[in-house]
A and B are shown apart, each in its own frame.
Chain A
Amino acid sequence: MSNRLFTKDTQAIFWNNNKSAIQRMLDYDYVIGREKPSVAAIVAPTSSNKFEKFFYGPDEIMVPLYRTTADAVNEHKNADVLLNFASFRTAYDVSMEAINMGDQFKTIMVTAEGIPERLARKMNQAARDNGILIIGPATVGAITPGAFKIANIGGTIENIIKSKLHRAGSAGLVTRSGGLFNELCNIISLNADGVAEGVAIGGDRFVGSVFIDHLLRMEENPDVKYMILLGEVGGVEEYKVIEAVKSGKIKKPIIAWCIGTIAKHFSSGVQFGHAGASANAERETAEAKNAAMREAGIHVPNSFNDLPQTIHQVYSDLRKKGVISEIEEPEVRAIPKTRKPKNFICTISDDRGEEATYAGYPISSVATPDTGKSIGDVVSLLWFKKVYPKWATDFIETVIKTVADHGPAVSGAHNAKVTARAGKSVVESLVTGLLTIGPRFGGAIDGAAKYFKYANDNNMTPQEFLAYMKKQGIPIPGIGHRIKSLRNPDKRVEGLKKYANEFFPSTSLLDYALEVEQLTTSKKDNLILNVDGTIGILMVDMWRALGYSEKEIDEFIESGTLNSFFILGRTIGFIGHILDEKRLAMPMYRHPFDDILYDVKPAEEIK
Chain B
Amino acid sequence: MAQRAIREYDGKAIFAKHWNDYFDGFHYSFKSVLVTSADELRQKAKEHGFEWLNQEPLVAKPDMLFGKRGKNDLVLFKVEKPGDVTLEDAAKWIEEKQSHEVTLLTGQKGKLTHFIVEPFTPHTQDQEYYISATVVDEDDVLYMSAEGGMEVEEGWEEKVNEVRIPITMSDDEMERAIKANVPDGIPAENRERFASFAIQFFKFYRDLNFAYLEINPIVMVGNDMHILDLVARLDDTAGFLMKDKWGDIEFPTPFGMEDMSPEEKAIAEADAKSGASLKLTILNPEGRIWTMVAGGGASVVYADTIADLAGVKDLANYGEYSGGPTESETQFYAETIFDLMTRYKDPRGKVLIIGGAIANFTDVAKTFTGIIKALEKYADKLKEHDTKIYVRRGGPNYEKGLKDIKDAAERLGLYMEVYGPETHVTDIVRMALEK
- A residues with a Cβ closer than 8 A to B are 20-21, 24, 88-89, 113-119, 121-122, 124-126, 129, 140, 152-156, 159, 162-163, 175-180, 182-183, 186-187, 190, 203, 205-206, 232-233, 259-262, 265-275, 277-278, 286, 303-305, 308
Contacts and interface: CB of A to CB of B under 8 A. Distances in A.
B318 A272 contact: yes
Given A118-B238, A177-B295, A305 B257 contact: no
Contact of B304 (A24, A115, A140, A261): A261
Contacts of B303: 262, 272
Given A205-B2, A305-B424, A232 B300 contact: yes
Contacts of B396: 155-156, 159
Which of B241, B254, B304 has most chain A Cβ within 10 Å? Answer: B304
22 contacts: A116-B241, A119-B238, A125-B166, A155-B360, A159-B396, A176-B297, A178-B360, A179-B356, A179-B359, A180-B297, A180-B298, A182-B357, A183-B425, A190-B422, A205-B3, A259-B304, A262-B303, A262-B307, A265-B307, A272-B300, A273-B296, A275-B1
Given A265-B307, A272-B300, A117 B237 contact: yes
B318 A114 contact: no
Contact of A179 (B168, B295, B427): B295
B256 interface: yes
Contact of B167 (A125, A163, A270, A272): A125
B297 A118 contact: no
Given A180-B425, A286-B304, 20 more contacts: A113-B1, A115-B237, A116-B235, A155-B395, A159-B358, A163-B358, A177-B300, A179-B296, A182-B358, A186-B358, A186-B421, A206-B138, A259-B300, A261-B307, A268-B256, A272-B300, A272-B303, A273-B297, A305-B309, A305-B426
A605 B305 CA distance: 91
B246 to A, nearest CB: 12
B361 A155 contact: yes
Ranked nearest first, the 9 interchain pairs of A and B with the lowest CB-CB distance are: A177-B297, A179-B295, A116-B238, A180-B297, A183-B357, A262-B303, A182-B358, A275-B2, A269-B257
Contacts of B72: none
Interface residues of B, number: 63
A305 B235 contact: no
Contact of A308 (B241, B395, B424): B424
Contacts, number: 182
Interface of B: 1-3, 106-108, 135, 138, 166-168, 206, 209, 211, 235, 237-238, 240-241, 253-254, 256-257, 279, 281, 283, 294-301, 303-309, 312, 315, 318, 322, 356-361, 394-397, 421-422, 424-427, 429-430
A89 to B, nearest CB: 6
Contacts of A24: 361
Nearest to B425: A183
Given A116-B235, A273-B296, A308-B424, A260 B360 contact: no
Contacts of A155: 358-361, 394-396
Which of B106, B238, B297, B306 has most chain A Cβ within 10 Å? Answer: B297
A118 B167 CA distance: 8
Contact of B296 (A21, A203, A262): A203
